[in-house]
Amino acid sequence: MKFIAIMLKKFFKYLMCLCHNSDLSEELTQETFYQAVKSIDRYNGECKMSVWLCQIAKHSYYKHLERNKKEQRHMLQDDAIHTSPEAELIYSEDKIALNRSD
């Protein structure tokens, strides 16, 4: 049991170095070990288990970044769709005014 606690701390710290967010690091640590248990049959022993787990942790973090990027794109698209004609007109007028002031 102590070994597991040490491993969890180790990967939590590794993920903290990547994302600088303790809540996210905790979530990704859980995801790392979930993925490891799910795919233990693919571990072939060619490298240390800690190296294998680091790869899973890194990929979990990259997946998180990709999901975040997609969510931000969707939010921007939603904002563009929900922009009122009045807001677009004001924005356009502001741009014109800025260009004239130069």
What percentage of the chain has pLDDT greater than the value 70? Answer: 85
Burial class (CB in 10 A: 0-12, 13-18, 19+), 85: exposed
Checking if the pLDDT of 22 tops 60, the result is yes
What is the tally of structural domains in the chain? 1
- The domain in which residue 36 lies consists of 2-101
Record the pTM: 0.64
* Per-residue confidence (pLDDT) for residue 63, from 0 to 100: 94
Q: How far apart are CA 33 and CA 45, in angstroms?
A: 17
Q: How far apart are CA 91 and CA 47, in angstroms?
A: 57
Checking if the pLDDT of 24 tops 70, the result is yes
CATH number at residue 93: 1.10.1740.10
Please compute the mean of the pLDDT values over residues 13-37 and round it to a whole number.
93
- C-alpha dihedral (45, 47, 49, 50), degrees to nearest 10: 180
Checking if the pLDDT of 88 tops 60, the result is yes
